[in-house]
C-alpha cells in the first residue's frame, strides 16, 4: 500500500503542476471562434470538395451550351492501289472540311442547357451548405475544448480541496482525534479525484486535437482559446426560426431547383415529338497529289421529324413526369424534416438554458454546504463523510453547470445551422 506521506506529496505536486497544464500548456498562439471558423473555411477538405463540384458544374454548362454552336471537322486520307486488275496503279488522296450546325432541336438542346444551369445553382448552394456544416463542426469542437478545460478546472479544484482536507485529517489522526477509517476514506476519495482529473486532462487533449483537425492545423498545435463558455440571449421566436429556415435553407433551394430540373426533363422528352433542323456544308479535294486537285463542295439543310416511334417518346415523357412528381413529394418531405430539426434544436437550447439557472443555484449552494461541512468537521461537531459528500456534490454541481453551458451554446449553433444562417 502507498504510504500516506507519498500520497500527500504526490497530490500536492500534482496540484502545483496542473496549474500550467489546465491553462493550455505551452501556448503558441491565440485563436478566437471566428478565427477558427475562418481557418476551417480555408483549409477544410469538405469545402474544397464542394468548390470542386461547383467548378465541374460550370464546365457542364459550357458543354451543354456548345450544342447550340456549329462544329467543324477536318479529315484527310490516302489509298494505295496496285496489282492485277488495276488500270492505273498508284496512290490517291482525299481531304475535306465539314461543318454541321443544329438549327433547331425541338427544344432538346435548350432543355439540356437549362438543366445544366440549374445544376450549377445547386452546386453553388452546395458550397453554402458545406460552409454552414463546417462552421457548426468548428463551433462544436471549439466549445468542446472550452468545456473540457472547464471540466479539468473543476476536477483540479476537487483535487486541491481534497488534498488540503487530507492534510487536516492526517494531522487529526496523528493526534489520535479520529479513527483510521476517516483517514482511509479521505485517501480513497483523493485517489478517485486524481483519476477523474487524469481523465479530464485526456479529454482536454483529445478535444484540442479534434479542433486542430477540423481547422486544418497540426494536431499537436497548442491553442489559447480567446473565448469562454457564456450565456448569450437568443431572442428569436420558434415560429420566426421556422419561417427563416423555410426561406433560407440551401437544401430547400436545392430541392426547388431539383423540381425545375425534373420539369425540364419533361420538355426534353417531349422534343422527340418535334422536328429537328440542321445545316451542313462540306468542301473536299481528291486526286493523286496531296491534298487533291479536284475540288468538290456541297451545302444542305436537313429536316427530320420522327412521326412514329412506337411510343418511345411518350414513355420517356411519362417517366419524367413521374420524376417531377417525386421531386415535389421529396420537397414536401424535406420541408417537414427541416421544421422538425429546427424545433428540436430550439427546444434543446431552451431546455439547456433552464438547466443553466438551476445548476448555477445548485453550485452556489454546494459551495456554501462544503464550507459549512468543513467548518463543522474541523470544530469536531461534524463527520468526515459530511465533508466528502459535500465535496462530491459540489464537483457534480459544477460539472452539471459546465455541461449545461456547453449544451446551450452548441444547440444554439445547431439551431442557426438548421435555420440556414449564412456563413
Q: Tens of pLDDT along 227-239?
A: 889 999 999 999 9
pLDDT bin (cut points 50, 70, 90) of residue 2 is: very low
What confidence tens digit (pLDDT) does each residue in 345-365 have? 999 999 999 999 999 999 999
Place of cell 413526369: 321
Mean pLDDT of 21-42: 71
For 288-308, write each residue's pLDDT tens digit: 777 767 788 889 999 999 989
- Phi, psi (deg, nearest 5) at residue 23: -90, 55
Radius of gyration of the chain (CA): 38
The C-alpha cell at 414 is 445547431
- Tens of pLDDT, residue by residue over 49-74, are 999 999 999 999 999 999 999 999 99
Phi then psi dihedrals of residue 177, to 5 deg: -85, -35
pLDDT attached to residue 295: 81
Predicted local distance difference test score (pLDDT) of residue 287:
77
- DSSP per residue over 72-117, as a string? EEEEEEEEEE-STT-SS-EEEEEEEEEEEEEEE-TTHHHHHHHHHH
Q: What is the mean pLDDT of residues 242-268?
A: 97
Average pLDDT over residues 398-421: 97
Nearest to 299 by CA among 311, 318, 283: 283
Give the CATH superfamily of 4-68+106-274+310-419: Outer membrane efflux proteins (OEP) (1.20.1600.10)
Phi, psi of 117 (to 5 degrees): -65, -40
Output the nine-digit C-alpha cell for 45.
Answer: 477538405
The helix or strand, by DSSP H or E, that contains position 297, with its residue range, turns out to be: strand 294-304
> Looking at 5-14, 85-94, 221-230, 394-403, which range is the least confident one?
5-14
Instruction: Determine which of 6-15, 219-228, 293-302 has the lowest per-residue pLDDT on average.
Output: 6-15
pLDDT on residue 25: 37
Amino acid at each position: 500500500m502507498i504510504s500516506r506521506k507519498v500520497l500527500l506529496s504526490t497530490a500536492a505536486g500534482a496540484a502545483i503542476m496542473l496549474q500550467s497544464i489546465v491553462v493550455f500548456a505551452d501556448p503558441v498562439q491565440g485563436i478566437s471562434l471566428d478565427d477558427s471558423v475562418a481557418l476551417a473555411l480555408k483549409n477544410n477538405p469538405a469545402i474544397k470538395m464542394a468548390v470542386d463540384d461547383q467548378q465541374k458544374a460550370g464546365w457542364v454548362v459550357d458543354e451543354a451550351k456548345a450544342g447550340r454552336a456549329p462544329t467543324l471537322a477536318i479529315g484527310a486520307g490516302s489509298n494505295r492501289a496496285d496489282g492485277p486488275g488495276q488500270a492505273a496503279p498508284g496512290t490517291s488522296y482525299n481531304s475535306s472540311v465539314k461543318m454541321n450546325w443544329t438549327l433547331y432541336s425541338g427544344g432538346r438542346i435548350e432543355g439540356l442547357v437549362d438543366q445544366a444551369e440549374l445544376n450549377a445553382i445547386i452546386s453553388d448552394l452546395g458550397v453554402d451548405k458545406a460552409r454552414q456544416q463546417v462552421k457548426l463542426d468548428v463551433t462544436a469542437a471549439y466549445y468542446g475544448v472550452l468545456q473540457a478545460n472547464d471540466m479539468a478546472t473543476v476536477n483540479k479544484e476537487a483535487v486541491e480541496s481534497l488534498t488540503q482536507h487530507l492534510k487536516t485529517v492526517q494531522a487529526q489522526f496523528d493526534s489520535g482525534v479520529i479513527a483510521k477509517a476517516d483517514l482511509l476514506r479521505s485517501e480513497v476519495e483523493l485517489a478517485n479525484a486524481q483519476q477523474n482529473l487524469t481523465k479530464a486532462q485526456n479529454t482536454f487533449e483529445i478535444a484540442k486535437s479534434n479542433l486542430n483537425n477540423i481547422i486544418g492545423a497540426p494536431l499537436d498545435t497548442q491553442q489559447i482559446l480567446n473565448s469562454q463558455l457564456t450565456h448569450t440571449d437568443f431572442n428569436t421566436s420558434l415560429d420566426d426560426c421556422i419561417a427563416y429556415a423555410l426561406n433560407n435553407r440551401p437544401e430547400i433551394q436545392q430541392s426547388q431547383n431539383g423540381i425545375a430540373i425534373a420539369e425540364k426533363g419533361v420538355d426534353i422528352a417531349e422534343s422527340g415529338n418535334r422536328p429537328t433542323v440542321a445545316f451542313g456544308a462540306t468542301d473536299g479535294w481528291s486526286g493523286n497529289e496531296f491534298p487533291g486537285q479536284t475540288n468538290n463542295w456541297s451545302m444542305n439543310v436537313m429536316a427530320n421529324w420522327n412521326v412514329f416511334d412506337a411510343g418511345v417518346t411518350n414513355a420517356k415523357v411519362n417517366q419524367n413526369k413521374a420524376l417531377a412528381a417525386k421531386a415535389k413529394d421529396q420537397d414536401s418531405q424535406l420541408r417537414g424534416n427541416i421544421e422538425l430539426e429546427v424545433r428540436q434544436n430550439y427546444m434543446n437550447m431552451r431546455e439547456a438554458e433552464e438547466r443553466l439557472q438551476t445548476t448555477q443555484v445548485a453550485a452556489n449552494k454546494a459551495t456554501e454546504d462544503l464550507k459549512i461541512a468543513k467548518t463543522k468537521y474541523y470544530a469536531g461537531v461534524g463527520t468526515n463523510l459530511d465533508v466528502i459528500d459535500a465535496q462530491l456534490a459540489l464537483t457534480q454541481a459544477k460539472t452539471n453547470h459546465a455541461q449545461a453551458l456547453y449544451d446551450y451554446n452548441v444547440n444554439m449553433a445547431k439551431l442557426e445551422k438548421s435555420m440556414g444562417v449564412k456563413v
